[in-house]
Every structure is written in structure tokens, then in C-alpha cells.
A and B are shown apart, each in its own frame.
Chain A
Amino acid sequence: MSTTVIPIVALSIAFLAPVLAFGQSPVFVGDLTPKPASPVPAGPAPRTPDGKPDLSGLWQRPYVPDMTKTTKDQQGTAELPFTADGLKAWKSYDAANGDYTGSCLPFGLLRSMNSPDPIQIMQSPAYVAPLYEQNTWFHVIPIGKKHREGATPTWFGDSAGHWEGDTFVVDTVNFNGRTRLDTIGHPHSDALRVMERFTRTDAMHIAYEVTIDDPKIFTRPWTNQRIFTLRPDWEIMEYSCEENNKDLYEGHLKPPPR
């Protein structure tokens, strides 16, 4: 293994040397020539100083526009167990009458986790915070705390995180009920409870599992499983949904019903 790592490190130092030669403040000069590949981590999951698996990093994820579908790095639930009300909510949905994301309203927890853009995960002993490139949103998950009582329901919900061995478990409730689970528009209600499990299986991957529990819409909980891949060669980018949302500004799509 060392025979492959050493040349990469050497390349990295060689690449950095000219930058450092100009002082402490490297200036971006628009050089788009190919760069040496970033060192690719290998081996087991790294750990933080407090001994927990380190979830930090920029993660590429499968785009999941439809949580019933199984695609690369995504295992869906093909048949959703709708209640009568749930089936009615699903059958009556027509995005042409207004998809709230077209208006750049917050995607909410599920559609943010299902989005095609990467997420940057920040981690400390007290918090884990996914930074979603999609629309430059973020979500803060306190570790070891209870859900807030009497809090106003929100788009992303109220999350409480805890460690189960080497798996970080996130329990989220108190959604405002104005979002959809995925781009295709699968419904949920304000009774939604989302359980997410993050397991860094090795240096390059997180096994992610999300369970949807909404007794108003589904007769039983159901699950998707995914693989996230570390992208040390990427950096998170700015994303402003409002910047040039011509679809909405010019009336090509409708704002959502209120």
C-alpha cells in the first residue's frame, strides 16, 4: 500500500509548492488545467478524538427522485403501504398544479437528502450538521438531547441524534407537512417521523438508511438504503435557487397551493 501512497503525497507536495512560494494567501487565478488527484483515503473509518466514527467530509450521494425505485447505490421500497388517505393524497397530486420546490421554498429533510447535489457533514461531540449544497441549506442535529417541546413545526423538522455503537442515529419529528418525500411527489403528513442511520463503513463510504413512519399516510414504516461516497476531490459549491429562477419568474410553472 505504501508504494501507492508515497507518490501521491509527493505529487501533492509538488503541486502545493508553487502556491506556498507566493506566501500565505494563495490567489485563485482561474487556472483550470488538470490537477494531480487528491489523495484517496483508504482503510477503515477514521475516528474523531472522542473515539466516534468521523462522518466529516463531502459526500456524493445517489439522486433519489422516486423513493420506490432501486438504482445505483439506492435500494428503494417498490410498493408503498398506503393508507386510504395516503393513497388519495398520492393519486390526487399533480405537480403541474404547483411543486413547492419550483418556488425555491425549503425542500425539507427528505427532498434535501434525496437531492443530487453533495452534502458536507460537519461533526463535533455535541452536534452533527449536514450542509446541503442544494440551495445552500443546512440542518443541525444535537447529540443526546430530547426533541424540543411545543416548538413550531418546520420544513426540516426537529432532530435528535445519538450513537448506537458506530452508527449515528437521527430521529426527526415536528415537520410542517408542507413538503413531499421526493421529486415525484410521494406524500407525507405532519405526523411524519423519520429515522436515519449513518454508518461510516470505511474511509470512503457511508451506509445510509432512512425509515419513513407516518401513520396517517402509510400503514407501516418503510425504508430506503443508500451508499454515500467520499469526494476528497470536490469542494462544496454555492447554490442559489432564487438567483435565476426563470421558471417561476416568467410563469412557466405555478407556485404551490397555499
Chain B
Amino acid sequence: MLAVCVAGAGLLVSASIPLAAHHSFAAEFDSTKAVTLQGAVTKLDWMNPHIWIYLDTQDESGTVAHRQCEGGPPNALTRNGWSKDSLKIGDQATIEGFRSKDGTNTCNARSVKLPGGKSVFAGSADDGAPKRPAQ
């Protein structure tokens, strides 16, 4: 049920140089490595300069991986009506984003969705990161 999908999306990603609000997107993340992670939330850091969402994913063989994804800045998210209670430990979340360049289980989250399709932490910043291709 839980899945990790890494899409070779380089050709589909906008050629524009991606950016993030705090530091340069390209300093850390790879715009050619789109990733979709699905799993149970284990922890949420609601702190500056970015929130971090931790989740455990499981592949088809049952192997569990601990993953972490950087989200938007908490101040902007707060002004958009979100809070640290918008995502709870144990929630099943689907994160679409981009992998870090260093090969660790780290990603930059572009969207976070709950079962039923409700998005959380959306609209944190128009930060110019590449548009993800349709999955």
C-alpha cells in the first residue's frame, strides 16, 4: 500500500533555475529528481527557517525507510492559516517534491496531501521552484 516512486522527470521539469525562499533551491535539491513519498508521519518540526516533516515509507518488500522533507517557512504558513496541528503524528501523508543532491532520504516538499486529497501547508511561497509533472 505504501509506496515510494522516484520519477525521472528531468525532461519534463521547467528549464528555469529553481529557487527556495531561504537559500537557493539548487544549493541543496535536484530539480531532475522528482519524488513522491507516501507514509505515516512520525514527527513535525514547526520551526524556522523551514518546517520539516518526517515520515516512514515502506517499499514492496516491507523495508521501512525514515525520510524527512523540508517545507515552507512557519511564518508564511501561519499567515496562510496553517499551524503545527495541521498535520498529526500518524497521519498518512503523500508528499510530492524533489530529492536532495546528497543522496540522503531528504526532500524538498512541494505539496503535502492527506487521504482524501486535502492539501496542508499549501501556498507558503511563490518561490519559483520547478513545476512537477503530472504523476
Contacts and interface: CB of A to CB of B under 8 A. Distances in A.
B73 interface: yes
B21 interface: yes
B70 A237 contact: no
A116 B70 CA distance: 17
Contacts, number: 99
Contacts of B75: 117, 133, 237, 239
Contacts of A247: 23, 28, 50, 70
Given A239-B73, A244-B52, A63 B127 contact: yes
Given A63-B127, A115-B21, A184-B19, 18 more contacts: A65-B128, A66-B19, A95-B24, A95-B27, A96-B26, A96-B27, A101-B23, A101-B24, A102-B22, A239-B49, A241-B22, A243-B49, A244-B45, A246-B70, A252-B101, A252-B102, A252-B104, A253-B28
A185 B24 contact: yes
B24 A183 contact: yes
Nearest to A136: B48
Nearest to A183: B19
Given A65-B127, A184-B19, A254 B27 contact: yes
A49 interface: no
A243 B21 CA distance: 16
- Scoring A94, A238, A245 by chain B CB atoms within 10 A of each residue's CB, the highest score goes to A245
